């Protein structure tokens, strides 16, 4: 048979998804598996979206515009205006989830071999999208001991080469929950300006900022209007991940008209998802604040619980619904597999996303896991009980290995 492509071989298994077969087997054995591996909240989808679907009143589910339905684009624009981002519908392309928005953005802006700088740990699929589009990921490491703050801008500058074309950030951050400060974003702005780079800003968790932390959109930064692409999705805001509706937003019209050619090739975003997303944008304040409060409560609960488990360390995330926790194990992936293959407590276990997949330098994440606090408090309680007992029973226990930085810090 002919050979699979090199990029196919290089393509990573998603750390979020790769353990799914093991989870399925655990379920087959009669266990309940608490899925903390994936950003799939158990919160009801916006009722506006559900109603719109049930009230479908058309005869033909047809393609629609490659840029997305104009009515949806106008509604997105009104939403952005309401949060101080000054765009109109012509600045917006509707995509099949943020996933497609990122892929098309990479295809539009980077040639094969061009480099994109990403603070790590990063949303694992950034690496996948880069691999699929032959872009080169260049990591700048943020550290758990700093709560995953933006690394010093000098670290970014050191990584800039002739092939550097873009920086991508996720703010509030998946997987760390860190929210970049205005000062950090201004430093990025200046860097982007100085080296004439693109800046892709994935802001899908913008509504989930806790403890009074202020969120600043990269779209508001002056002087880099043509450099910035905002990546967005309705998945998390309205608890409707399966709609597969996202957006890429930019003031750079040449960039958008090029991106539209990629949109044309795949014809159109999903009709039903767009219908539901347009309705979801009218979600009530009650719905949105209910969702916010649920996540806040879950965060407060789980971070406390995690840090109470002997040997576990987890900085307090300020946004989104993830945290990166360091576990006292030899290898977090082995541990995550063991939890699914070998462990159960009262017919329950937990599915975690191994941290290594969120790092370019996979060794850095060897003791870390990403946890999505997307389940109700009762489930989270049971999940934490499983995690605690799992860590007790796991044969590959180890102290938390301090990172180089941590080591240096303690040496000084």
Contact (Cβ atoms closer than 8 angstroms) between residue 92 and residue 246: no
In 51-64, which positions are buried (b, 16+ CB within 10 angstroms) versus exposed (e)? ebeeeeeeeeeeeb
Among the listed residues 319, 21, 34, 271, the one whose alpha carbon sits nearest the alpha carbon of residue 148: 319
Residues 313-352 that bind a copy of itself (CB under 8 A): none
By CB under 8 A, residue 152 contacts a copy of itself = no
Phi, psi of 62 (to 5 degrees): -105, 175
Of 12-20, 73-81, 281-289, 392-400, the window that binds a copy of itself (rule: CB under 8 A) is 12-20
Span near a copy of itself by CB under 8 A; candidates 80-88, 94-102, 282-290, 331-339: 94-102
The residue from 28, 265, 286, 411 that contacts a copy of itself (CB under 8 A) is 265
Angle between helices 20-28 and 332-341 (to 10 degrees): 20
Q: Choose among 168, 127, 172, 126: nearest CA to 148.
A: 172
Q: Which stretch binds a copy of itself (CB under 8 A): 51-59, 72-80, 346-354, 390-398?
A: 51-59
User: For residues 58 and 412, which CB has a smaller minimum distance to a copy of itself in the complex?
Assistant: 58
Q: How far is CA 113 from CA 13, 157, 162, 204, in A?
A: 21, 19, 11, 27
284 binds a copy of itself (CB under 8 A): no
The distance from CA 188 to its chain's CA centroid, rounded to whole angstroms, is: 19
According to the binding rule CB under 8 A, does residue 111 interact with a copy of itself?
Answer: yes
User: Residues near 174 by Cβ (< 8 Å), separated by ≥ 6?
Assistant: 39, 123, 202, 204, 205, 320, 322
- Which of 73, 75, 189, 244 contacts a copy of itself by CB under 8 A? 244
Q: Would you say 307 or 376 has its CB closer to a copy of itself?
A: 376
Decide whether 90 or 409 has the Cβ nearer to a copy of itself.
90
Sole window of 38-46, 322-330, 337-345, 396-404 interacting with a copy of itself (rule: CB under 8 A) = 38-46
| Nearest residue (CB) to a copy of itself, 279 versus 314 | 279
Q: Which stretch binds a copy of itself (CB under 8 A): 177-185, 235-243, 344-352, 365-373?
A: 235-243
Q: How many residues bind a copy of itself (CB under 8 A)?
A: 85
Position 65 contacts a copy of itself (CB under 8 A): yes
Angle 70-82/271-280 helices, nearest 10 degrees?
Answer: 30
Out of 28, 54, 222, 378, which residue is the one contacting a copy of itself (CB under 8 A)?
Answer: 54
Residues 372-391 that bind a copy of itself (CB under 8 A): none
The reply to whether 9 sits near a copy of itself by the rule CB under 8 A is yes
Based on CB atoms, which residue is closest to a copy of itself, 102 or 150?
102
Closest distance of CB 1 from a copy of itself, Å: 4
Residues 6 or more apart whose Cβ sits within 8 Å of residue 75: 278, 281
The one among 213, 226, 304, 409 contacting a copy of itself by CB under 8 A: 226
Within 157-216, the residues that bind a copy of itself by CB under 8 A are: 165-166, 196-198
- Asked if 391 and 400 touch (Cβ cutoff 8 Å), the reply is no
Asked if 61 interacts with a copy of itself (CB under 8 A), we say yes
User: What CA dihedral angle connects 8, 133, 16 and 302, to 10 degrees?
Assistant: 160
Look up tokens 């309205």; give the residue: 238
Site residues for a copy of itself, 116-145, by CB under 8 A, read 125, 128-129, 132, 134
**Alpha helices of 133-252 — where are they, by DSSP H?**
153-159, 182-195
Q: Please state, in angstroms and rounded to a whole number, the distance separating the CA atoms of residues 167 and 194.
A: 13
Among 60, 214, 222, 412, contact with a copy of itself (rule: CB under 8 A) = 60
**Among 72, 93, 94, 110, contact with a copy of itself (rule: CB under 8 A):** 110
Q: Which is nearer to a copy of itself, 63 or 407 (CB)?
A: 63
Determine contact, residues 201/171, Cβ cutoff 8 Å. yes
Q: Where are the extended beta strands (E) located within 271-364?
A: 322-326, 348-351, 353-354
Write down the least CB distance from residue 6 to a copy of itself, Å: 5
């Amino acid at each position: 048979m002919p050979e699979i492509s090199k990029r196919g071989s290089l393509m990573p298994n998603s750390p979020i998804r790769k353990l799914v077969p093991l989870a399925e087997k655990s379920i087959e054995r009669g266990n309940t598996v608490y899925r903390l591996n994936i950003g799939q909240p158990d919160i009801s989808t916006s009722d506006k979206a559900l109603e719109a679907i049930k009230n479908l009143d058309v005869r033909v589910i047809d393609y629609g515009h490659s840029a997305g339905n104009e009515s949806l684009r106008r509604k997105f624009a009104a939403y952005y205006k309401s949060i101080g981002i000054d765009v109109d519908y012509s600045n917006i392309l509707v995509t099949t989830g943020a996933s497609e928005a990122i892929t098309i953005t990479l295809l539009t802006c980077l040639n094969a071999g061009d480099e994109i700088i990403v603070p790590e740990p990063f949303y694992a699929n950034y690496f996948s999208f880069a691999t699929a589009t032959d872009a080169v990921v260049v990591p700048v490491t943020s550290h758990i001991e700093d709560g995953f703050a933006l690394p010093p801008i000098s670290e970014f500058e050191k990584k800039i080469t002739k092939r550097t074309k873009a920086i991508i950030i996720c703010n509030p951050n998946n997987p760390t929950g860190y929210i970049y400060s205005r000062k950090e974003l201004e430093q990025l702005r200046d860097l982007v300006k100085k080296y004439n780079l693109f800046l892709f800003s994935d802001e899908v968790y913008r509504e989930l900022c806790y403890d009074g932390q202020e969120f600043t959109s990269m779209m508001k930064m002056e002087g880099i209007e043509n450099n910035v692409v905002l990546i967005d999705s309705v998945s998390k805001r309205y608890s409707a991940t399966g709609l597969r509706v996202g957006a890429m937003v930019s003031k750079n019209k040449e960039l958008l008209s090029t991106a539209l050619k990629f949109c044309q090739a795949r014809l159109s975003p999903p009709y039903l998802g767009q219908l539901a997303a347009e309705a979801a944008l009218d979600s009530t304040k009650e719905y949105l604040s209910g969702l916010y409060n649920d996540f806040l409560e879950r965060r407060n609960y789980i971070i406390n619980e995690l840090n109470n488990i002997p040997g576990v360390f987890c900085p307090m995330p300020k946004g989104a619904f993830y945290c990166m926790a360091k576990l006292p194990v030899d290898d977090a992936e082995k541990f995550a597999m063991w939890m699914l293959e070998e462990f159960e407590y009262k017919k329950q276990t937990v599915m975690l996303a191994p941290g290594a997949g969120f790092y370019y330098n996979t060794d850095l994440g060897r003791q870390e896991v990403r946890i999505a606090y997307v389940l109700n408090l009762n489930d989270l309680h049971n999940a934490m009980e499983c995690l605690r007992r799992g860590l007790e029973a796991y044969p590959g226990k180890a102290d938390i290995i301090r990172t180089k930085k941590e080591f240096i810090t303690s040496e000084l």
